[in-house]
Amino acid sequence: MTIKPIYYHTIALAGFFGLFALLMLWNTVLAPSSRFPVALVLLLTVTPLLLPMRGLLSHNKKSCAWAAYISLGYFIHGSAEAFINVDERLCASLETVFSLMLFLGTTLYVRFSGTRG
């Protein structure tokens, strides 16, 4: 039994929008930064996700590959934050899970969607 590539893309989109929503909520409502302005934190954390968004939504393989590369930074940040900061461990763990969903979904979608670009 083989899994259709559209299911991998659905996993990637769930990870993408989950990560997007988590970062917006985390930095504005759940635990806003007391040292930096909220707008600056949002600019630095959410903007990299917006770069491949149009291509990701239109099933562009190059954009999916770039989204996979970008998700690795969020994986590193979530893993380190979960290890270091006990108070925000839940949000950091969710960031790790969503970034893994995005990475694996986009990687497997590009791998199994065929040769057309």
pLDDT by residue (tens digit) across 75-107?
999 999 999 999 899 999 999 999 999 999 999
Sequence-distant (6+) residues with CB within 8 A of 16 are 49, 53, 56, 67, 98, 102
**Full DSSP string of 28-57:** IIIS--SSS-HHHHHHHHHHHHHTTHHHHH
State which amino acid sits at residue 36.
F
Query: CA angle, 41 as apex, 46 and 81 as ends, to 5°?
Result: 85
What pLDDT was estimated at residue 3?
Answer: 83
pLDDT by residue (tens digit) across 25-81?
998 998 888 888 989 999 999 999 999 999 999 999 999 999 999 999 999 999 999
Of 52, 53, 51, 93, give the one whose Cα is nearest residue 75. 93
Decide: 99 and 74 in contact? Cβ < 8 Å: yes
